[in-house]
Amino acid sequence: MALIRLHKLLAGWGVASRRAVEAMILARRIRVDGEVFTDLGRRVDPAACRIEIDGRPVTPPAANVSVVMVFHKPAGVLSSLGDRFGRPTLADFFPGPERLYPVGRLDSDSTGLLLMTNDGELTNRLLHPRYKVEKEYLVQVAGPPLTAAERARFEHGLDLEDGRTAPCHLRPILRKGAADSPTASPWVRRASPQVPSRDRQARQKRTDASLPRAAALCPPTITYRVILREGRKRQIKRMFAALDRRVVALHRIRFGPIRLGDLPPGRARPLSAEERRALLAAIGREETER
């Protein structure tokens, strides 16, 4: 069998995106045939090598079937499949044998739509800046409403520590002529997760202290609709902070053509055939590619 670079192999198996696998390699978390793997350019034989991540063996998927699920991430849940401190993770909601991984991430205190998949190449394309896949959010912000000049700066690009942001869309959501209040925000009172695990009560206490629940005690806020075509770590929070505002709740409602709809927190559903076609079209991929 032809040799292949490890980050491409593991992305194809649905372990993580290529960039995430590269980070694992640099962090010395991956072993190949018992030895720590550190050479990003080195190729391996998929049929002959033995791969471990954090001491756990990694095997190819049982079938070459691309699976994509829509998941409503509750507050207080990490966008990872494990946590050494025992905090709630995505693994609590996807305990089955099929390895599904998140496309990107949401902060622990953020809620809303996460795509879960075993298709590493799909993940790579959805997150790649070249495809400019839109992500839409409802963002609850403390402080006075942004002025017209501040909104223009936000939309045209802000200078952050990791560079200037790409143009985006920002609009306030008003109700009956007044700024949206925290109690009116539709996700605030529904955000507590129903974590299906043995530490339910202890985890619920931690969740009760999460940011969306605390939003009800904050000063007056306004909710904005934000649409990005890039994805940096904590980008929206940092953009509002650059304008001296504080995000108190963030909820993603759309990823590309896929909408969260009325899916309850903590629940998942597969894509419809129409949604799948639209998602693949957004990244210029045919159904047969994988």
Does residue 267 fall inside a structural domain?
yes
Q: How confident is the model at residue 246 (pLDDT cuts 50, 70, 90)?
A: very high
Q: Which of 40, 58, 76 is the last residue of a domain?
A: 58
pLDDT of 152 higher than 90:
yes
- Looking up residue 82, the CATH number of its domain turns out to be 3.30.2350.10
Does residue 289 fall inside a structural domain?
no
- What is each CA distance from 139 to 30, 179, 236, in whole angstroms? 37, 13, 8
pLDDT of 41 higher than 60:
yes
Q: How confident is the model at residue 59 (pLDDT cuts 50, 70, 90)?
A: confident
Does residue 252 fall inside a structural domain?
yes
User: pTM of the entire structure?
Assistant: 0.68
Question: What 3-state DSSP class applies to 11?
Answer: helix
pLDDT of 183 higher than 70:
no
Higher pLDDT, 169 or 12: 169
**Tally of CB atoms within 10 A around 79:** 17
- Looking up residue 12, the CATH number of its domain turns out to be 3.10.290.10
- Concatenating the DSSP letter of every residue in 137-198 gives EEEEEESSPPPHHHHHHHHH--EETTEEPPP-EEEEEEETTEEPPGGGSTTGGG------ST
Residues 116 and 186 in one domain: yes
Is 119 a known active-site residue?
A: no
d(CA 217, CA 126): 36
Residues 116 and 209 in one domain: yes
Does residue 290 fall inside a structural domain?
no
Give me the number of domains the chain comprises.
Answer: 2
pLDDT for 250: 97
Residues 163 and 262 in one domain: yes
Residues 107 and 137 in one domain: yes
Residues 92 and 53 in one domain: no
| Range of the structural domain that residue 158 is part of | 68-281
Residues 191 and 222 in one domain: yes
Residues 11 and 90 in one domain: no
Helices (H) and strands (E) in the chain, counts: 8, 18
Q: Which of 172, 190, 191 has its CA nearest to residue 181? A: 172
pLDDT for 188: 44
Residues 116 and 143 in one domain: yes
H helical segments located in the chain = 6-12, 18-26, 120-127, 148-156, 200-208, 211-214, 235-241, 273-282
Residues 32 and 118 in one domain: no
Backbone angles phi, psi at 152, to 5 degrees: -65, -40
Q: Which of 21, 40, 58 is the last residue of a domain?
A: 58
Residues 43 and 162 in one domain: no
Which is catalytic among the residues 33, 45, 92, 107?
107
Q: Burial letters for 215-252: b for 16+ Cβ neighbours within 10 Å, e otherwise?
A: beebeebbbbebebeebeeebbbbbbebeebebbbbbb
Q: How confident is the model at residue 76 (pLDDT cuts 50, 70, 90)?
A: very high
Q: Which of 252, 278, 275, 248 has its CA nearest to residue 265? A: 252
Residues 222 and 258 in one domain: yes
Q: DSSP letter for 5, please.
A: E
Residues 112 and 25 in one domain: no
